[in-house]
Amino acid sequence: MNTQLAVKPNEETSIFSSSEKFEIAGKMAVSLSKSTIVPKEYQGNASNALIAIELANRLSVSPLMVMQNLYVVYGRPSWSAQYMIAMINSSGKYDFELQFDEKNDKNGKPYSCQCWTERNGRKVTGPEITMDMAKAEGWLSKNGSKWLTMPQMMLRYRAASFFGRMNCPELTMGIYTREEVVEIGPEDYREVPYTPTAEVEAQVAENIEANANSVDFEETIPMNEPTPEAVAQAEAMPETPKRGRPKKQQAEPAPAPTPAPVPEAKPEPTPVMEMPASDDGGPDWM
């Protein structure tokens, strides 16, 4: 099976890669914004259409497909849950489409759901979504929430979106699903009002002046420098002789020992050969 991703950024054809491509994409966006069959977020809004074209380029899909499945909720873009599941299944990254492991509670009502699939024979799972989690997160209490009327469908949608963000964020591109954005609420998407730089600088200067220390700092003398009082007191005191250790007298070197006299060698006496006496009293050799 071909595991090469069908959904990946196309940097060579990006509308921001050159001014020429950006100009062509701008003309396309104007044309799409004039259509009456595109979602209302793009009708008469060429800027939104331009963003949809760039997203479509990065996902290697049709711009119209992005427009039909990308919603703007509280000023934030969001995917439809069905499209997120379709992106994962058609990406070619996994061996087969997403599977859903579902469990019911003791009353037979849907309780939990977990997405999983395989890649090269290895099982890939996502987080398990439960009704207890939905209750703790406040998803059940939102206005217009479908968790109470369609719990099985909402469990599947949320399990798929969590699987996508955990295992293949390059496909979701960090965009939440429409149901998630609705449940987060507009309070988490407050717009920060713009404040001119001059006003910010004036406010900072005012805060510094109001909170600055009004007590003058007294000059202190470093600890290693004596005070004038200590210097005067030291000068008034009589000078005491300094005591020191007596210098050690250097020991005179010991005289070298006198070498012992060497006894003179006496010559050894020359041995005298004695001739044996003969019987007649003369030498034996005569």
Which residue ranges of the chain lie beneath pLDDT 70?
Answer: 1-13, 185-201, 204, 207-208, 211-227, 231, 238-286
**Is the Cβ–Cβ distance between 159 and 126 less than 8 Å?**
yes
* pLDDT value of position 193: 47
* pLDDT value of position 145: 80
Q: DSSP code of 239?
A: P
Token readout for 36 is: 């009456």
* pLDDT value of position 260: 63
* pLDDT value of position 276: 53
Cα–Cα distance, 166 to 127 (Å, whole number): 8
70 beta partners: 79
Phi and psi at residue 31, in whole multiples of 5°?
-65, -45
**Which runs of E-coded beta strand occur in the chain?**
70-73, 76-79, 99-104, 110-119, 122-125, 129-130
**Is the Cβ–Cβ distance between 86 and 61 less than 8 Å?**
no
pTM: 0.55
Write out 79-131 in H/E/C secondary structure: ECHHHHHHHHHHCCCCCCCCEEEEEECCCCCEEEEEEEEEECCEEEECCCEEH
**Is the Cβ–Cβ distance between 41 and 48 less than 8 Å?**
yes
* pLDDT value of position 227: 67
Q: E strand or H helix at 182, and its extent? A: helix 178-184
* pLDDT value of position 7: 42
**How confident is the model over 130-139, as pLDDT tens digits?**
999 999 988 8
